[in-house]
Amino acid sequence: MLTADQIQIEDAARRFSREVLAPGAAAREKAQAIEPAVLSGLAEMGLLGMTVSPDWDGAGADYVSYALALMAVAEGDGAVSTMMSVHNAPFCAILERYGSDAQKEAVLKPAARGEFIGAFALTESHAGSDASALRTRAVLKGDRYVINGAKQFITSGKIARYVIVFAVTDPENPKRGITAFLVPTSSPGFSVSKLEHKLGQKASDTASLNFDDLEVPVSLRIGAEGEGYRIALSSLESGRIGISAQAVGMAQSALDAAIRYAGERRSFGKALLEHQAVSFRLVDAKTKLEAARQLVLSAARMKDAGVPCLDQACMAKLFASEVAEEVCSIAIQTFGGYGYVEDFPVERIYRDVRVCQIYEGTSDIQKIIIGRSLAA
């Protein structure tokens, strides 16, 4: 039930994933970096500004196409899909919706063309899911804001040229006193204080950022003072569609590898796939993964139709992230001992997919949000 354009985008992304991303995923993990050639390839295909309007040099694709492309990229390398996801939404999505024309001209256009990578800095060491507990402060002095504070677990914090930073401008009003800023990482007072050593997705850098008397002009404020909390929440739908899509993509890659292996490996005189215990396990994985895929695409279609879909995006993210871990575990079980070693990709994919239940809101947070609608 896809359009010709959607099929073309999915096919192109999958070719790039299979020919470029998958063969280099293990080396990328060891290097703990995404090589420039990959970033250039993503940019040339329009995958770094997918839903941005052509007026701002984006591809102007719909969210179904975006979800399909993310799934395909994640099949090749989950770390690359995370960088792609954050750059598209929330970074580009927030700038297109709330940025000034000058910000869009100077920053959004080159970002959508893929000339640099952007980051989104909301989380702090004591304020993860509770965004209203931020301690980073921004004080207006003349025509400039002075920002002091720190952010943690920031995707692409090391390689980003610009970061959307959320800081408190009115300490007396925790939620309505938060403001968003577009911060160049070349600014004096900006520093990367730490790079996290993670279980998975090692090629995608996750950084702690410090802001020490960092000055930004008023012209780099996004929206009005006090709109930061609303701006941050506005990215939830698209962000969670993105994470659920990448979870499906990674799990699909692990499942495909397991099915191929089960068809080739022989045990007790026949292929593993001919043993009902193995085939039934893979059938369950395929069925659950297809259900997750349809939840993702359903939320994306609602987003394209302009229908509020926070609940649907949360359900997709909740279900897809948890099913993805289960599917990857089944893939490892199918490989047996080989699934537990680095020689085969399923152990890396299993590690890469685990974080999908944590970032962009943990599974518990998704349940809290969905639960609020039960009494509505």
Active-site amino acid positions: 360
Angle at 48 between CA 90 and CA 208, to 5 degrees: 50
Give the residue from 167, 186, 187 showing the smallest Cα distance to 178. Answer: 167
Asked if residues 84 and 73 have their Cβ atoms less than 8 Å apart, the reply is yes
Distances from the Cα of 212 to the Cαs of 53, 136, 138, 151, 190, in angstroms? 35, 10, 11, 12, 7
Distance CA 354, CA 356 (A): 5
How do strand 118-121 and strand 162-168 relate by DSSP bridges?
parallel
Q: Which residue has the tokens 């954050």?
A: 86
Give the residue from 226, 169, 165, 227 showing the smallest Cα distance to 190. Answer: 165
Neighbours of 374 (CB within 10 A): 7
- What is the distance, to the nearest Å, from the Cα of residue 79 to the centroid of all Cα atoms in its chain? 9
Beta strands in the chain (DSSP E): 118-121, 137-141, 144-155, 162-168, 178-184, 190-195, 206-217, 221-222, 266-267, 270-271
Both tokens assigned to 167: 């800081």
Beta-carbon contacts of residue 202 (< 8 Å; ≥ 6 apart): 29, 32, 79
Both tokens assigned to 216: 């930004």
Distance CA 357, CA 363 (A): 6
DSSP H helix total and E strand total for the chain: 14, 10
Residue 214 burial by Cβ neighbours in a 10 Å radius (0-12, 13-18, 19+): buried
